[in-house]
């Protein structure tokens, strides 16, 4: 990774010095063999005016690909700096899903200018795609797919692909539709090539197509792509008419995005899509403060419990020293269980009917770990702390009960949450910890007052 | 999802009743149109002997695909129940990466039997693939790829693919190699089809191939697939000779697996690959108890701090009631920051040189959230708690300092961990919380003794 950094820095310097001396041919030669992702990475490091100068040198297909990779600030700057005919060229080359992603981020005046420079049909498609709800399959799809008819032969199908394929996002899977555009089957380019040219598409196609509806949640597409190892999937409307396809590159992005969301939610942060360094201080604070506030106020209940037992604590202040250890261990034990269960739910490995199995398993795991922790803790207290045997017994018995309880509660709550259609991630460590803090203290103080006879 | 469950149950019942009456033709008709993933899901719900009976009815290509999807217990049962010639048929049809995954899980006697039933060349390849370290690109790759020569024309290349493509895992990307098997370029089936048949492959191929070395970490393949939107990637040995390819379905699995690992590590669990319900109680306990023990013992330091200030606390027991709230808020605030930073590091959005930027940003986010939390908390204490103004001031000032500190520590530690080549995930909420518990108490008690004049 270090070497790549150095190479990139060298390349950037070379390009900048070429720009300074107007050695355009040399720049063009440099860029010629580069991947569009790498060109975008290079441009992102340059000043906007230099980016623009280089961008205008790119051949139109590459320009469109580089443009689709750019962040929206740079896209806006470019659109505002180039001529109408250049806008037309880029829009013509971009795939519809990238176009829509780009337009969604632009201010109204830029959107107007872009739409003015696209033809009637494209404008209609864009407007239609913009109407799909965020996170729906429709908002993820593109409209550039290969469609075939059942009556074609493999040879005719390949000929059709040769004629129309250049503008399609993928030709690896071709979709067979009826005259009314209803989805009838799928046939891969592999099958078409490996079959005898006179075989009918009807005999080659797979009629059990895994497809998704425009309004389905995009998470469902992640699930289907993973389950069936798909490269692309057709999207149909309510009348089963093919309206677009989703490709795997977009699904991978959704997958990482959903995972990031889960990580953030599990740390009690309102999720946001923007990368950390591009998010302002105020937004970051806003995304975090709400949950901190809720948790802080919940924690005051724990304070009430302590206050309730203030008399007992006053008589035996040494009990206070074990509070952080007990609360910490409860929180950690519960977080382990809830995290495992939340993740299993996300991967569809668990469902509500497994609830009892999970509770029983967590109870046994809890008892096993609790036993070990209790033994170690008892030895530590007896050896190092100057307390009576009965204090040690109280602390250890509390520890045992608390860990068992934490495991069961941590395993149970995410499943119950999903049952009542709440996001199971809500039951991640911050909430679990807060609940368990209160429960642990109750157990600890109840045991202390009965065993040690203080009140 | 509920409907799917019902459909699956109906299908299972139908198959079982057909089996009972030996209506094999009907079963065959039922299975004919089903995806291999769905067939495997159906078989997994049946008793092993019924699974075996149905498995033996499947055509050999489908049988191999279904077999590759099965869990290793079922694979072992099947191999031990079928004849040698049936073993040969399955092994012939399976892709090399699935074969190796399967063999890795089998006991020695099954491995012996399988290897005895494969030809010399396959056996050599299997042994070679088995030698790659776990989690390396080599262990992920398959050896069934299409290789072309530069001198071929597009038409000749397509002809070559027609002849050899049926056994390849993918034909979407074909790799161009020299006579010494060195990787020279990549050309997609799309390019071959859309180009004039007499164009030379040398003129069509992309020489800037993104490739990976056999010994590279599989995480690097996830990074490259996502960055460049790849469908497959060539794997080369140290002499740049093509030895295999990695396909995107395997990369998606690695991606989810790495994410699961990160989720588990962030909850202080030793990660394991097996699904929750298939993992035994003892293994689950073992994976969890180590970290719980470490954290429990660390938490005793927090106990020492309390003990050190026992005198002060004894004079003003009310201070104890705020300990859970302060420790909880510190832990939550720190976990928010560390989680965001850990995730950004995993997605390569951050690196060590951003450390100062992160610290400064977290300090400002910390101050903003801390200010809000402090105001709310001050109001709550004054309105509801019967404490003196100075106690309220002590608690609120502590809260402010603690939240700011938590944010900076939480943001800083994962980056520092990565710098010294530790997994940043180690700095997730359990460790951060334990560290912050101790720091918060120190701050709280120091402020309490100076402001309230107790000691």
Q: At what angle do helices B60-69 and B36-44 cross, to 10 degrees?
A: 60
With beta carbons less than 8 A apart as the criterion, state whether B157 and B173 touch: no
Q: Which residue in the set B194, B299, B350 is minimally distant from A276, CB to CB? A: B350
Subunit contact B343:A166, Cβ cutoff 8 A: no
With beta carbons less than 8 A apart as the criterion, state whether A195 and A155 touch: no
**Tokens matching residue A296:** 């802080």
In chain A, whose CA is at the least distance from the CA of B317?
A314
With beta carbons less than 8 A apart as the criterion, state whether B2 and B29 touch: no
User: Count of residues for chain B?
Assistant: 455
Subunit contact B376:A296, Cβ cutoff 8 A: yes
**Tokens matching residue B162:** 């027609």
Q: Which residue in the set B293, B340, B364 is minimally distant from A373, CB to CB? A: B293
Q: Which of B170, B102, B88 is nearest to B130 (CA)?
A: B102
Q: What is the C-alpha to C-alpha distance for residues B300 and A124, in angstroms, rounded to an integer?
A: 66
Judging contacts by C-beta atoms under 8 Å, the chain A residues touching residue B430 are 332, 335
Q: How far is CA A409 from CA A313, A331, A334, B270, in A?
A: 27, 11, 7, 20
In chain B, whose CA is at the least distance from the CA of A265?
B336
Q: What is the C-alpha to C-alpha distance for residues B311 and A231, in angstroms, rounded to an integer?
A: 68
Phi/psi for B119 (5° steps) reads -75, 165
- Under DSSP, the state recorded for A318 is G
Phi/psi for A428 (5° steps) reads -80, -175
Q: Which residue in the set A35, A225, A317 is minimally distant from B313, CB to CB? A: A317
Judging contacts by C-beta atoms under 8 Å, the chain B residues touching residue A304 are 321
Q: How far is CA A323 from CA A103, A419, B369, in A?
A: 55, 34, 27
Subunit contact A357:B277, Cβ cutoff 8 A: yes
**Tokens matching residue A350:** 């668990």
Q: Which of B422, B434, B411, B414 is nearest to B291 (CA)?
A: B434
How far is the alpha carbon of B287 from chain A, nearest alpha carbon, in Å?
10
pLDDT at residue A225, as a whole number: 93
pLDDT at residue A318, as a whole number: 83
User: Count of residues for chain A?
Assistant: 455
Judging contacts by C-beta atoms under 8 Å, the chain B residues touching residue A340 are 264, 267, 269, 276, 284
Judging contacts by C-beta atoms under 8 Å, the chain B residues touching residue A284 are 340, 361, 365
What is the tens place of the pLDDT at every residue in A365-398? 999 999 999 999 999 999 988 888 999 999 999 9
Q: Which residue in the set A321, A372, A430 is minimally distant from B306, CB to CB? A: A321
| ipTM for this model | 0.85
Contacts of the segment B343-350: beta carbons below 8 A, 24+ positions apart: B343/A260, B343/A263, B343/A264, B344/A275, B344/A276, B344/A277, B345/B414, B345/B415, B345/B418, B345/B424, B346/B262, B346/B424, B347/A256, B347/A260, B347/A275, B348/B223, B349/A275, B349/A276, B349/A277, B350/A276, B350/A277, B350/B415
Cβ pairs A/B, distance under 8 A: 331
Helix (H) or strand (E) holding B250: helix B248-266
Subunit contact B332:A285, Cβ cutoff 8 A: no
Q: What is the C-alpha to C-alpha distance for residues A319 and A194, in angstroms, rounded to an integer?
A: 77
Q: What is the C-alpha to C-alpha distance for residues B379 and A130, in angstroms, rounded to an integer?
A: 46
Subunit contact B306:A293, Cβ cutoff 8 A: no
Judging contacts by C-beta atoms under 8 Å, the chain A residues touching residue B292 are 329, 332-333, 336, 369, 373, 403
Q: Which of B415, B214, B445 is nearest to B313 (CA)?
A: B445
Query: Which string of b and e fits A363-397 if b means at least 16 CB within 10 Å?
Result: bbbbebbbebbbebbbebbeeebebeeebbebbbb
Helix (H) or strand (E) holding A128: helix A120-130
How far is the alpha carbon of A393 from chain B, nearest alpha carbon, in Å?
17
- DSSP letters along A265-292, please? HHTT-----S-GGGS-HHHHHHHHHHHH
Q: How far is CA B4 from CA B1, B7, B27, B40, in A?
A: 5, 5, 20, 15
With beta carbons less than 8 A apart as the criterion, state whether B423 and B265 touch: yes
Q: How far is CA B388 from CA A384, A444, B381, B385, B392, in A?
A: 37, 28, 10, 9, 7
Q: What is the C-alpha to C-alpha distance for residues A105 and B296, in angstroms, rounded to an integer?
A: 48
pTM of the model: 0.85
pLDDT at residue A443, as a whole number: 94
In chain A, whose CA is at the least distance from the CA of B434?
A328
Subunit contact A165:B354, Cβ cutoff 8 A: no
Kindly provide the residue ranges of all beta strands, DSSP E only, lying in A279-402, ordered along the sequence: none
Subunit contact B320:A306, Cβ cutoff 8 A: yes
Helix (H) or strand (E) holding B243: strand B242-247
Helix (H) or strand (E) holding B235: strand B232-236
How far is the alpha carbon of A240 from chain B, nearest alpha carbon, in Å?
18
Q: What is the C-alpha to C-alpha distance for residues A455 and A318, in angstroms, rounded to an integer?
A: 15
Q: Which residue in the set A34, A292, A365 is minimally distant from B369, CB to CB? A: A292
Q: How far is CA B258 from CA A62, B28, B224, B251, B288, in A?
A: 33, 39, 15, 10, 18
What average pLDDT values come out for chain B (455 residues) when binned by 10 residues?
A: 72 88 88 88 90 90 91 91 90 89 89 89 88 90 92 93 86 93 93 92 92 92 91 93 93 90 87 83 89 86 85 82 89 91 89 92 94 94 88 94 95 92 84 89 92 79
pLDDT at residue B304, as a whole number: 85
Subunit contact B306:A328, Cβ cutoff 8 A: no
How far is the alpha carbon of B449 from chain A, nearest alpha carbon, in Å?
17
Q: Which residue in the set B269, B275, B310 is minimally distant from A349, CB to CB? A: B275
Q: What is the C-alpha to C-alpha distance for residues A111 and A126, in angstroms, rounded to an integer?
A: 11
- DSSP letters along A159-221, please? HHHHHHGGGSS--SEEEEE-TT-BEEEEEEHHHHHHS-TTSBHHHHSBS----EETTSBHHHH
Interface test with B, best of A44, A261, A274, A429 (most B CBs within 10 A): A429
Tens place of pLDDT for every residue, chain A, 455 residues? 556 777 788 888 888 888 888 888 888 888 888 889 999 989 988 899 999 999 998 988 899 999 999 988 899 999 999 998 899 889 888 988 899 889 988 998 889 998 888 888 888 888 888 889 988 999 999 989 999 999 999 999 999 999 888 888 888 999 999 999 999 999 999 999 999 999 999 999 999 899 999 999 998 999 999 999 999 999 999 999 999 999 999 999 999 888 999 898 888 888 887 888 888 888 889 888 988 888 888 888 888 888 888 888 878 878 888 988 998 899 999 999 999 999 999 888 888 999 999 999 999 999 999 999 999 999 999 998 888 899 999 999 999 999 999 999 999 999 999 999 888 888 887 888 888 989 999 999 999 988 888 76
Interface test with A, best of B33, B38, B289, B444 (most A CBs within 10 A): B289
With beta carbons less than 8 A apart as the criterion, state whether A335 and A433 touch: yes
User: Cα A320 to chain center, whole Å?
Assistant: 42
**Tokens matching residue B421:** 């080549």
Q: Would you tell me how many other CB atoms lie within 10 Å of the CB of residue B336?
A: 31
Q: Which of B133, B135, B137, B159 is nearest to B148 (CA)?
A: B159
Number of helical (H) and strand (E) elements in chain B, helices listed first: 22, 6
Q: Find where tokens 């017994």 sit.
A: A393
Subunit contact B208:A34, Cβ cutoff 8 A: yes
How far is the alpha carbon of A250 from chain B, nearest alpha carbon, in Å?
9
pLDDT at residue B70, as a whole number: 92
Q: What is the C-alpha to C-alpha distance for residues A162 and B155, in angstroms, rounded to an integer?
A: 13
Q: Which of A320, A211, A222, A224 is nearest to B311 (CA)?
A: A320
């Amino acid at each position: 990774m270090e070497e790549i950094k150095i190479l990139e820095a060298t390349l950037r310097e070379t390009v900048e010095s070429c720009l300074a001396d107007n050695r355009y041919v040399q720049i063009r030669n440099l860029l010629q063999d580069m991947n569009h992702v790498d060109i975008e990475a290079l441009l992102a490091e340059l000043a906007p005016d230099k980016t623009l100068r280089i961008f205008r040198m790119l051949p139109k297909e590459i320009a469109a690909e580089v443009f689709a990779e750019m962040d929206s600030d740079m896209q806006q700057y470019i659109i505002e700096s180039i001529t109408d005919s250049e806008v037309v060229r880029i829009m013509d080359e971009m795939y519809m899903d990238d176009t829509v992603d780009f337009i969604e981020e632009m201010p109204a005046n830029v959107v107007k200018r872009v739409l003015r420079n696209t033809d009637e049909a494209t404008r209609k498609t864009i407007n239609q795609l913009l109407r799909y709800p965020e996170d729906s399959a429709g908002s993820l799809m593109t409209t550039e797919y290969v469609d075939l008819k059942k009556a074609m032969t493999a040879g005719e199908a390949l000929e059709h692909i040769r004629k129309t394929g250049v503008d399609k996002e993928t030709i690896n899977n071709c979709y067979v539709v009826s005259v009314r555009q209803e989805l009838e089957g799928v046939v891969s380019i592999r099958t078409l090539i490996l079959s005898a040219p006179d075989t009918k598409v009807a005999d080659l196609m797979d009629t059990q197509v895994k497809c998704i509806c425009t309004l389905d949640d995009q998470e469902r597409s992640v699930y289907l792509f993973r389950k069936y190892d798909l490269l692309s999937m057709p999207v149909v409307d309510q009348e089963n008419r093919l309206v677009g396809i989703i490709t795997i590159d977009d699904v991978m992005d959704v997958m990482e995005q959903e995972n990031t969301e889960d990580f953030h939610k599990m740390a009690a942060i309102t999720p946001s899509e923007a990368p950390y360094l591009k998010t302002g201080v105020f937004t970051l604070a806003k995304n975090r403060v709400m949950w901190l506030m809720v948790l802080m106020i919940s924690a005051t209940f724990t304070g009430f419990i302590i206050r309730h037992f203030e008399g007992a604590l006053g008589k035996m202040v040494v009990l206070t020293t074990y509070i952080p250890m007990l609360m910490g261990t409860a929180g950690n034990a519960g977080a382990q269980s809830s995290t495992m269960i939340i993740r299993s739910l996300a991967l569809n490995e668990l469902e509500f009917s497994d609830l009892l199995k999970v509770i029983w398993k967590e109870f046994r795991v809890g008892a096993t770990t609790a036993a070990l922790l209790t033994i170690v803790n008892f030895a530590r207290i007896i050896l190092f702390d100057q307390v009576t045997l009965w204090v040690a017994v109280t602390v250890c018995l509390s520890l045992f009960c608390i860990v068992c309880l934490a495991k069961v509660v941590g395993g149970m709550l995410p499943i119950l949450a999903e049952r009542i259609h709440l996001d199971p991630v809500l039951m991640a460590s911050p909430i679990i910890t807060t609940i368990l803090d209160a429960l642990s203290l109750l157990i600890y103080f109840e045991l202390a007052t009965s065993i040690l006879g203080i009140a």
